[in-house]
Amino acid sequence: MIKLAPSILSANFSYLAEDIRKVEKAGAQLLHVDVMDGHFVPNITIGPPVLSCLANYTNIPFDVHLMIENADDYIEKFIFKNTEVITVHAEGCTHLHRTLQSIKALNLKAGVALNPATPIDVLDYIWNDLDMILIMSVNPGFGGQNFIEAIFEKISQVREIIDRKGLNIDIQVDGGIKLDNVKKVIDAGANIIVAGSAIFGAEDVYKQTKQFLEEMNK
């Protein structure tokens, strides 16, 4: 199923719940939450206390993208009624297989994120343990960057492997996705689209979310 996951990194943090309601009402299926620690990436964002509050205001499922060091120590802190998937970076987990097992043991979907320069063969021995692959199309840390064109080929390669193996793994793409390239990302093989600045930077967030969904399903 094709899904839209607006990234709250670009939302108005003073009116976070209101911004989230707009995308939820417009039909976005997931809420992408960028957690940054100032170590794994050069930026600091939000963490469990904020999500704990938001869980009281919305029913949209949380898609938690951890861009932090020592992710294993924090996974349990991201369990809320809304949490559906937790994604860790291949580059940040020494014992990636173990980390995925601990996410799944909590009855959550487990995702692995790959930075633009990370080859897909890091997934070679964990294909059967994955619910989602997050292909980064910008270097993580900030919203509003440009989509790296070389990533189209990576998306197609991951799609080809998943289909050949007959696996049920979502392909999420994150970074630089706008109304004018979202369809191309889907055609390359993605089925979950993350969009931050393109959605929350719009004048009418509700209308823009609707337009994204329409474009994605063309």
Q: Shortest CA distance to 76 belongs to which of 59, 97, 52, 94?
A: 52
User: In the range 14-73, which residues lie near ligand DX5 by CB under 6 A?
Assistant: 32, 34, 65
Could you list the beta-strand ranges (E) of 115-188.
132-136, 170-174
User: In the range 162-181, which residues lie near ligand DX5 by CB under 6 A?
Assistant: 174-177
131 is catalytic: no
163 is catalytic: no
Which one of ligand DX5, Zn ion, none interacts with residue 3, CB within 5 to 8 A by kind? none
Rounded CA gap, 11 and 24, in Å?
Answer: 13
Which one of Zn ion, ligand DX5, none interacts with residue 208, CB within 5 to 8 A by kind? none
Site string for Zn ion, 107-146 (x = CB under 5 A): ----------------------------------------
Rounded CA gap, 217 and 103, in Å?
Answer: 31
3 state SS of 141: coil
Query: Which residue among 47, 48, 116, 141 contacts ligand DX5 (CB under 6 A)?
Result: 141
Contact between 10 and ligand DX5 by CB under 6 A: the answer reads yes
3 state SS of 59: coil
Query: Which residue among 145, 157, 181, 191 contacts ligand DX5 (CB under 6 A)?
Result: 145
Contacts of 54 (CB under 8 A, 6+ apart): 16, 17, 20, 62, 82
Catalytically annotated residues: 34, 174
